[in-house]
């Protein structure tokens, strides 16, 4: 059983990937982080000594504090935040408890700067990938949509990470799409995300035989692109679609529907 003001890895994993996820703060000291340089998805690092700076960054939002073993550093910082009126829990077992539970861990070195750039007028990958980044890597990530010919130059001039364009790391690889590449790069293999990735890949590569949900995702994606002239407005609307798809992939994928309700098959 978790102690008072602790949250278990399993419970936290059910919150990550949803709009209700708390802010995750990793206060591991540099030496501990260097020994095991991974992060719980969406966590950012902060010094346990910079409590005023952390309080300002949280801006009143609820958080979960993480250190390597879930002991003095995380409990001390969480208690201090609660004294400032901020809802703060501690991850039971810390980073090691998360690791030992076999849950996804993001390599710290793989997490790029928070600005990304891709081709304008997105359809599938270019909405799915921002959703994945914001929900599982960096909730503060920002995205630029520009003409295809301008993506490399904008990436260089604005120190942005290009994605879903040829000759970049975050792109298609053989039969896999950019969403797959991001899952592999960020260490996010997980049954729910793997199930969602199959739908995204099948829709993005027009291989609808691989997933019965792919045709529906394509239809919704094309519809969104017709509804919104502004790419950012389309992205925000698309976040809701992928939130719903993730919940389906996590715990609703085996649910069917019949009429009349309860009719024998």
99-113: pLDDT as tens digits: 999 999 999 999 999
Say if 261 falls within a structural domain. Answer: no
On whether both 13 and 77 belong to a single domain, the answer is: yes
Say if 257 falls within a structural domain. Answer: no
Say if 234 falls within a structural domain. Answer: yes
When divided into structural domains, the chain yields a total of 2
Say if 258 falls within a structural domain. Answer: no
How does residue 204 score in pLDDT terms, banded at 50, 70 and 90? very high
User: Final residue of a domain: which of 79, 105, 131?
Assistant: 105
On whether both 100 and 122 belong to a single domain, the answer is: no
Q: What is the mean pLDDT of residues 212-230?
A: 97
Q: Kindly write down the DSSP assignment for every residue of 144-202, as one continuous string.
A: EEE-GGGHHHHHHHTT-EEBSSTTSSBS-BTTB-HHHHHHHHTT---HHHHHHHHHHHH
Beta strand 23-26 with 6-7 is: unpaired
On whether both 132 and 227 belong to a single domain, the answer is: yes
Unique residue bearing structure tokens 């304008």: 120
Unique residue bearing structure tokens 């364009």: 165
On whether both 86 and 126 belong to a single domain, the answer is: no
The pLDDT mean for the chain works out to 96
Q: What is the mean pLDDT of residues 133-153?
A: 98
User: Final residue of a domain: which of 78, 105, 132?
Assistant: 105
User: Final residue of a domain: which of 105, 128, 156?
Assistant: 105
Say if 184 falls within a structural domain. Answer: yes
Global pTM?
A: 0.96
Q: Whole domain around residue 125: which residue ranges?
A: 112-251
40-92 pLDDT tens trace: 999 999 999 999 999 999 999 999 999 999 999 999 999 999 999 999 999 99
């Amino acid at each position: 059983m978790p102690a008072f003001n602790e949250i278990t890895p399993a419970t936290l994993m059910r919150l990550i990937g949803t709009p209700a996820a708390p802010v995750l703060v990793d206060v591991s000291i540099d030496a501990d982080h260097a020994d095991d340089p991974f992060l719980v998805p969406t966590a950012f690092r902060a010094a346990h000594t910079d409590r005023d700076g952390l309080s300002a960054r949280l801006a009143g939002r609820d958080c979960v504090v993480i250190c390597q073993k879930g002991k003095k550093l995380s409990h001390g910082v969480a208690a201090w935040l609660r004294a400032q009126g901020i809802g703060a829990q501690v991850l039971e077992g810390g980073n090691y408890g998360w690791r030992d539970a076999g849950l996804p861990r993001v390599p710290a070195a793989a997490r790029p700067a928070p600005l990304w750039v891709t081709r304008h007028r997105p359809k599938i990958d270019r909405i799915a990938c921002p959703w994945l980044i914001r929900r599982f890597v960096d909730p503060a990530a920002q995205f630029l949509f520009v003409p295809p010919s301008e993506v490399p130059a904008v990436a260089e001039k604005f120190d942005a990470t290009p994605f879903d364009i040829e000759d970049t790391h975050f792109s298609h690889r053989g039969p896999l799409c950019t969403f797959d590449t991001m899952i592999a790069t960020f260490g996010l293999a997980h049954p729910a995300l793997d199930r969602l990735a199959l739908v995204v890949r099948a829709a993005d590569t027009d291989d609808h035989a691989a997933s019965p949900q792919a045709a529906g995702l394509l239809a919704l994606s094309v519809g969104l692109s017709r509804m919104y002239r502004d790419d950012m407005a389309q992205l925000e609307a698309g976040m809701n679609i992928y939130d719903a798809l993730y919940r389906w992939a996590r715990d609703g994928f085996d649910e069917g529907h019949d009429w009349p309700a309860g009719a024998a098959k």
